Amino acid sequence: MKTALSVALAVVLSMAMGQELLTNGAFEEPLTTGWVQTQGGSGTHTINRDTGYDPDPDYEAYCYQYDNPGWARLSQQVEVPGPVLDVSFRVKLEQSGHTSCWPAAFVSICYLNESGTRLGETRYYSAGLEPWTATSTFHPVRVTSTEWNDYSVVVEDELSQNLPGITPGDVRRVEIAFADTTAGG
């Protein structure tokens, strides 16, 4: 069995003064509002929104990839005034299956320049193996809990402490993505 699963309760991308920048970050509207759904490869891909994934009565988004190489991804890209931003999210990341198929579930925060070129990424992930290595522009954060967890990233601090290859003033867009992937096996 090759499977990966990520479920997101809500994601907030805000400026330091509290202005929300994402559209439909709590998933209370259909996923076609603000979010882009992409899938590829073979196998079973599911991207969904429902109230039954977490015990609370609110909606959550769900990404799932099962069986054979492929991926399912839910993302949103927004323009930002610079790196003085807070990103917070509540997520449940799970993966299972044989490690040879590289199942992984993750949340990524991608930092882009004005033209949309990716400068770097912070990735919270659950995976059977250690599929990613930190670099000056990529910060992988392994999540070992399969329960609902809350995370918060102060983008300015993240760039200075973990992503020294990114010039903070170059960040003019941020992309938030939830994804699941398997690579075969």
Q: Which pLDDT value is given to residue 100? A: 60
3-32 tens-digit pLDDT: 444 455 556 666 655 678 888 888 888 989
Q: pLDDT band at residue 181, thresholds of 50, 70 and 90?
A: confident
Q: Which pLDDT value is given to residue 68? A: 67
| 184 vs 85, more confident | 85
R_g (Cα) of the chain, nearest Å: 16
Q: Which pLDDT value is given to residue 2? A: 40
- Note the pTM of the prediction, 2 decimals: 0.87
**What is the H or E stretch that residue 161 is in?**
helix 155-162
**What is the H or E stretch that residue 157 is in?**
helix 155-162
- Which residue in this structure is represented by tokens 């993302």? 75
Q: Which of 56, 47, 53, 34 is nearest to 4 (CA)?
A: 47
Residue 37: give its domain's CATH number: 2.60.120
The dihedral built from the CA positions of residue 28, 25, 132 and 183, taken in this order, carries a sign that is positive
Share of the chain above pLDDT 90, in %: 35
Q: Is the pLDDT of residue 80 over 80?
A: yes
59-74 tens-digit pLDDT: 888 777 666 677 788 8
Calculate the average pLDDT of the chain.
82
Distance CA 159, CA 26 (A): 25
State the total domains in the chain: 1
Can you spell out the DSSP letters for 90-126? EEEEEEEE-GGG--EEEEEEEEE-TT--EEEEEEEEE
Instruction: Return the SS3 of 46.
Output: strand
Q: Which of 18-22, 107-111, 117-121 is predicted with the least confidence, judged by mean pLDDT?
A: 18-22
Rounded to an integer, the average pLDDT of 146-165 is: 93
Task: Print the domain residue range for 169.
Answer: 2-182
